[in-house]
Amino acid sequence: MTVSSGEISISSSDSKSALVKLAPVEAVLFDVDGTLCDSDPLHHRAFRDMLLEIGFNGGVPVDEDFFIKNIAGKHNDDIARALFPDDYERGLKLTDEKEAYFRRLVVEQLKPIDGLTKLVNWIKDRGLKRAAVTNAPRANAELMISMLGLTEFFQAIIVGSECEHAKPHPAPYLKGLEAIGASKEHTFIFEDSPSGIRAGVAAGMPVIGLSTRNPENLLMEEKPAFLIKDYEDPKLWAALEELEKQGGAGTETDAA
């Protein structure tokens, strides 16, 4: 690991070796928001507009720092309590209304993370198992996955509210492994939020963090294997190449 100019980064040699212990890799788990698609700006806009409408924060729009600290990557139950500590039911009602607004924005504006199609094809070509594991409501998750053309790609969609605990608890990732019949010793995860990385690490799997929107120093505090900018990042492909050199990725063609 190297540190420069106040930023945390991981050397190329560290990232290349981070996945080798998984050989032979059998599965990949993905978060959805911020990991498959850059959806945080849409969530921020939806919360900003909804909160502005009710005069939250004295009528001052919530900024990105507030969004990252109090909302990004969190389950709606926790968001409701954070925003309305004295009126939880009001918070839940607002988050429900916000999700409906967010889904309208998704249909109009959702875009995949750069390089996602390349990575999806790599996984399919090697016949790896795969699941989406998210704190998003099921309706949101299924809509985003559908808009990205990945409905047939994922063999399971695990939703935090349908588990005993949502992220940052490891339960959703452990349920994802169970759903697709995979072992944590041969599975890795893609995540973009501190709470999601914490959940994956607690579940006993290496997590590749995406610095889509969250500050790198906050992501690194949760101990990901390494960080990437997007799915075109050379660090990712160097690690996957090293994994394959160890005979660590299957070659079974998957037509899903």
Catalytic residues: 31, 33
CA distance 44 to 169: 24
CA distance 134 to 158: 6
Distances (CA, A) of 196 to 6, 49, 54, 82, 249: 24, 25, 30, 18, 25
What's the one-letter identity of residue 171? A
* Spatial CA neighbour of 74 closest among 196, 191, 210, 216: 196
7-9/2-4 β-pairing:
antiparallel
- Three-class SS of residue 170? coil
